[in-house]
Amino acid sequence: MRNRFNRGSSNLSVFFTAALFMAALIIYSVGTGGNSDFVSSICGFITAPIQRVSAMVAGGFGSFSGEFEDIDAVRAENELLKKKVREMTQKTVDYDTLKQQNDEYRKLLELKNENKNYEFLPSTVIARDSSDYYGGFTIDKGSADGIALHDPVVTADGLVGYVTGLGVTSSKITTILSPGLEVGAVDKETRDGGTLFGEISSAKSGRTRLNYLARDCEVTVGDIVVTSGFGSIFPANLVIGEVSAINAESENISFYAEIIPAADVKNCTDVFVITEFEGQRSIQESSIEGYKTEETDDNKDNEDN
């Protein structure tokens, strides 16, 4: 209590001293005929520190407010830049997609020009069976679009497979990696022929096989393999792929060639169904659960399991 009283008394003493000092200055000013310069100097000396502190405080608040305005401006600019980056990214994706589609259609046009009797139906892959080692898939076109069983399926790069399941608005495709699809094929250079069908170990690495090659065949690594046209299911001279290796069969009776498909069988997203070509054989179909299907080796294996 005493300390508070002492502090209060000290403050009052300072106040009264300052008041008396200011009164003395006023009296002195009046007595000396208003020497205002001296009084002003003294008052300025007393008030200058207070004015400086006030200016610093005001300036600090102004700077602080300015910094907030700068931050808001930077944030707005960043959002604008992010928006422009997103727009540019989307334009790049759209450009790449259009470029890829244009390349596909350009190659397809070349194939069409070489084979005037082909009728192509563009289709999109809508489903893949992740458990299918052979890369089978479903497309968004069916019998209502003019597709029939065994219609060949290609990309602009080469043969992918053929239709083995037919619905009204969709179709199932068996690929050239599967043992359930057999294609007559020949070496484009040597004309050595065999039967193309897949095998599990080759399919896992994205390859298929040209089987039953004669022991004295002249097939070499790097040769291009095409369809022979035998059987009238596939037109002749569709590119299948490139020979990557030649091996003897286990019984050492004949040879087979490992083929790297020209088409990206397991990753293609857009394909073309050849719905008509000269010499095409009509297929008699059976209907199972809404799909017209053929009974392939794959189907038999699934039924046995």
- Annotate 190-232 with DSSP letters as a single string: T--EEEEE--HHHHHTT-EEEEEE-TT----TT-EEEE--TTS
Is-contact 174 162, C-beta < 8 A?
A: yes
Same domain, 192 and 256: yes
pLDDT at 45: 55
Same domain, 149 and 13: no
> Do 175 and 285 sit in the same domain of this protein?
yes
Q: Which among 143, 95, 97 has a CA at the least distance from the CA of 121?
A: 143
54 & 200 share domain? no
Look at residue 41 in the predicted model and tell me its pLDDT.
Answer: 57
Q: In the prediction, which pLDDT does 63 show?
A: 57
* Shared domain check, 135 and 51: no
What are the phi and psi torsion angles at 154 (to 5°)? Answer: -135, 165
Query: What is the CATH number for 137?
Result: 2.40.10.350
Which neighbouring-strand residues pair with 125? 139
Predicted TM-score of the model (pTM): 0.63
Cβ–Cβ < 8 Å for 194, 210: yes
User: What pLDDT is stored for residue 242 in this prediction?
Assistant: 97
Q: What's residue 4's pLDDT?
A: 47
Residue 301 lies in a domain: no
Angle in degrees, CA 246, 164, 169, rounded to 5: 140
| Shared-domain flag, residues 241 and 129 | yes
DSSP 282: P
Q: What is the pLDDT of residue 113?
A: 78
Amino acid 54 reads: S
> What is the total count of domains within the chain?
2
Please check whether residues 128 and 262 belong to one and the same domain.
Answer: yes
Is residue 273 assigned to a domain?
Answer: yes
**137 belongs to a structural domain:** yes
The residue range of the domain holding 25 is 2-65
Q: Which residues, listed in sequence order, are joined to residue 162 by a DSSP beta bridge?
A: 152, 174
Handedness of CA 193, 197, 202, 204 (dihedral sign): positive
How confident is the prediction along the chain (305 residues), in pLDDT tens digits per residue? 445 444 445 554 544 565 566 656 555 555 555 455 555 555 555 555 555 655 555 555 555 555 556 777 777 878 788 877 877 777 776 666 677 667 777 777 777 777 788 899 999 999 998 889 999 999 999 999 999 999 999 998 999 999 999 999 999 999 999 999 999 999 999 999 999 999 999 999 999 999 999 989 999 999 999 999 987 799 999 999 999 999 998 777 889 999 999 999 999 999 999 999 988 865 444 333 444 555 444 444 444 44
What pLDDT is attached to residue 298?
Answer: 45
Verify that 134 and 226 share a domain, yes or no. Answer: yes
**Contact (CB, 8 A) for 297 and 249:** no
pLDDT at 238: 94
- Residues 143 and 219 grouped into a single domain: yes
